[in-house]
Amino acid sequence: MPSAATTDAVSETVAGETTMGETVIDATVTGVEAPADMPTADVAPRTDGATAMAAGTLTQIVSQGESFSTLEAALKAAGLDGALNEAGPFTVFAPTNEAFAALPEETLQALLQPENQRVLQQILAYHVVSGSVTSDAIQPGEVATVEGNSVAIAQDGETVTVSGARVIQADIVASNGVIHVIDQVLIPPGLDLQ
């Protein structure tokens, strides 16, 4: 379990405008099928290889997608739903409802309780990277999260993973960052959920 000082720093880091420098990641995600109810946020391709900006902030996009209802509930329970409305920019590795459902039910329910808010903040902050990193800029390697630990970006053919979680939809671009949808909940190193 993280110390109060650690989780206070996580909460402040996620809620504020954090600048950790531009992280460059390079890999293209293709051939991956997203669930039918995954929000597209009216993303349209651009000729420069980037993706057009969606209408709304990261929080607004999460709240619009049925596949993100558990993530939305977790952000609210952690008191971080407003943090993803900040200017950013942020890159969010967003777990789907199915990813949260893969956690033991008692673990998920416990995390959503007020007494576990700091642990939930730490877990959610581990899904956020400072800066807006689209799939055309993804490079394999370690990338620091706003939680403080790094996630490992890897590519095997057309499959991109983030610390073992597969990216199932990339480049949902918001006014303050980008979302890459993943199929697992990421747990920071050293955090024991037992």
Tell me the per-residue pLDDT of 35-82, one tens digit each, with 9 for 90 and over.
444 343 333 333 333 343 456 889 888 988 889 999 999 999 999 888
Q: What is the pLDDT of residue 164?
A: 94
Predicted local distance difference test score (pLDDT) of residue 140? 92
What confidence category does residue 30 fall into, taking pLDDT thresholds of 50, 70 and 90?
Answer: very low
Structure tokens given for 147: 């939680």
Q: Mind listing the domains of the chain with CATH numbers? A: 4-182 (2.30.180.10)
Max CA separation in the chain (angstroms): 48
- Strand order across the beta sheet in which 90-95 lies: 128-130, 90-95, 177-182, 165-174, 159-162, 150-156, 141-144
Q: Is the pLDDT of residue 5 over 50?
A: no
Structure tokens at 87: 């200017």
Mean pLDDT of the 163-168 span: 95
Predicted pLDDT of residue 168: 94
Q: How many CA atoms lie within 13 A of 36 on its CB side?
A: 0
The pLDDT-based confidence of 186 (bands split at 50, 70, 90) is very high
- pLDDT at residue 89 in the model: 94
- Cα(183)–Cα(69) distance, integer angstroms: 14
Q: What is the pLDDT of residue 24?
A: 28
Q: pTM of the full predicted structure?
A: 0.72
| Selected residue with higher pLDDT from 25 and 60 | 60
- Angle subtended at Cα 186 by Cα 180 and Cα 191, rounded to the nearest 5 degrees: 155
Closest CA to 50 of 118, 150, 144, 133: 133
Does residue 153 carry a pLDDT above 50? yes
Of 87 and 3, the structure prediction assigns the larger pLDDT to 87
Task: Please report the pLDDT score of residue 53 as a whole number.
Answer: 44
